[in-house]
Amino acid sequence: MTLSRQLLEILACPKCKGEIAFDESQNLIVCHACEIAFPVRDDIPVMLIDESRPLSGSTKSVPD
């Protein structure tokens, strides 16, 4: 599955409003600033803070 480049350009992290990246191998939207990841289900990014999870090795907690 591949998310549209246009969609990725307009999406922002709902927590910090910063840039996100798509990790295609894990099917996740990632915010490196917040060190959290959002799932993609049925080709739809679930950009809810309550649905996010910390990146592996992160010391930050979610949600904030």
Domains in the chain, please, with CATH? 5-54 (2.20.25.10)
- Rounded Cα–Cα distance for residues 45 and 24 (Å): 12
pLDDT value at position 19?
Answer: 96
24-63: per-residue pLDDT in tens?
A: 999 999 999 999 999 999 989 999 999 999 998 755 665 5
List CB contacts of 12: < 8 A, sequence separation 6 or more: 18, 19, 20
pTM: 0.83
| Alpha helices by DSSP H, the chain | 5-10
CB 29 within 8 A of CB 2: no
